[in-house]
Every structure is written in C-alpha cells, then in structure tokens.
Amino acid sequence: MCINLFGQVDSTATPKPAHIQEKVNIRIPDKSKIEEYRKDQRFEYKKEERGLSWWNRILLAINNFINNLLGTVAESGMLSIVVLIIIVVVICLIVLKLIGVDYRILLGKKELDKSDIDIYTENVHEMNFDALISNALRNKDYRLAVRFLYLKNLKQMSDKDIIEWSAHKTNYSYQYEIQNSLLRSKFLETTLIFDYVWYGEFELDENKFTEVDSRMGDLNKMINHER
C-alpha cells in the first residue's frame, strides 16, 4: 500500500511568472557634445592650488607658533595674562623688525637727539652725511656714525640708479634691485654689519669703528665705479 506523504498536488495551479526585465535604451552622447563639455570651464572641478606668498607664510608660522604655545601653556595650567602679554610683545618686536623700526625708541632705552630723530623723519637725499658723520665722531658716538655711513651708501646707490630708495623699504629688499653680483654681495655684508651694530646694540670703540668704516668704504668705492 502506497501512502502519499506530500499531499495532493494541484495540477491546475498557475506557476508564478519569472522576473521580466524591461528593455533599456542606451543613449550615447554625440562626440562633439562631449568635447564641448570638456572644454567648458564650468565643468572643471579640479582647481589649481596656488602657493602661499612669503607674507602669508610668515603669518601662518606666527599663527602656528601662538597656537602651539597656547596649547602647551593650557595643558600645564599656567595660562595667564602675563603669558599673553609676552606673546603680544614678541609679535610686535618681530613686526617692527620687519618694517625696519628701531624698537628701542618705543622701549625708551635711548634718548634721541635731533640728529638721531632725523634718521627716521628726513629724506636721505636731504641729509648732509659728511657733517652728520663728523659730528657723531666728534661725540664718539660710533654706532650713530656707522648708521650714517650705511645710509650714505644707500643714497649713493640711489643717485647711481642702482636702487630706488624708499623710506618704506627694508634694507634687505634692496638686494633684489642690485644687478652686479659682487656689489650685491658687498652690500649684504655691510647690511649684516650695520644690523649687528645698530639693532644689536653692539658698543663700538674707536678701533672697532675703524674696521667697520673700512668695510663701508669698500662698498662706497664699488658704488663709485658703477656706471
């Protein structure tokens, strides 16, 4: 005897239809249109990155320095108004150095006489450098004499059209205007000496001044030989 374990199958049941796929029409754009879109800048998503200028790099470096410093101080629990004041003072000194201002005037380290004030307020083309240098040497103010010697060389380079003098330029910016490589090298040498003597508050005696005067004189001779 046979037993149907699976029950009776309804032979009249309709099977479910298989998945019917709709026909897809593939549209291919015209080649001329594709080329037109490629040349259209509105569809250019890749932008060329521009490098930072030297001034932006300086500002970025200062910003990173401040952020790092504040982070370190905050972690150590020493954040105070004193630290912030120190940061502001340091930044101000850096900016003053970049624009060529003598910070000692603001700090009151040095009492300025009339001849010293003229350094910052008068046009170099209107200054009698020979008289100013003689007066500085008479008073044994060798640092001031060095500054006048340096400015005198700047004036002579301007007179020779080697540079274009401006009160708003930094000393080091003039190097890019000097075409003669030997003259440029000597100018940078005297600029470093001047910065060391003037901004570094390096006290000169007569012997040291004689050596500096010789270096300034070498630059002066090279300027006079320029045509």
Query: pLDDT 10s digit of each residue in the chain, 227 long?
Result: 444 544 555 555 555 555 555 665 666 667 777 677 676 666 665 555 556 666 677 677 777 776 666 665 555 555 555 666 666 777 776 666 665 555 555 555 544 444 444 444 457 888 899 999 999 999 999 999 999 999 999 999 999 999 998 888 888 889 999 999 999 999 999 999 998 888 887 778 999 999 999 999 999 999 998 87
Residue 40 main-chain phi, psi, to 5 deg: -75, 120
Q: What pLDDT score was predicted for residue 125?
A: 80
| Global confidence as pTM | 0.50
Question: To the nearest 10°, the Cα dihedral for 190, 196, 199, 203?
Answer: -110
* Helix pair 142-159, 181-198: axis angle to 10 deg: 150
Q: What pLDDT score was predicted for residue 196?
A: 87
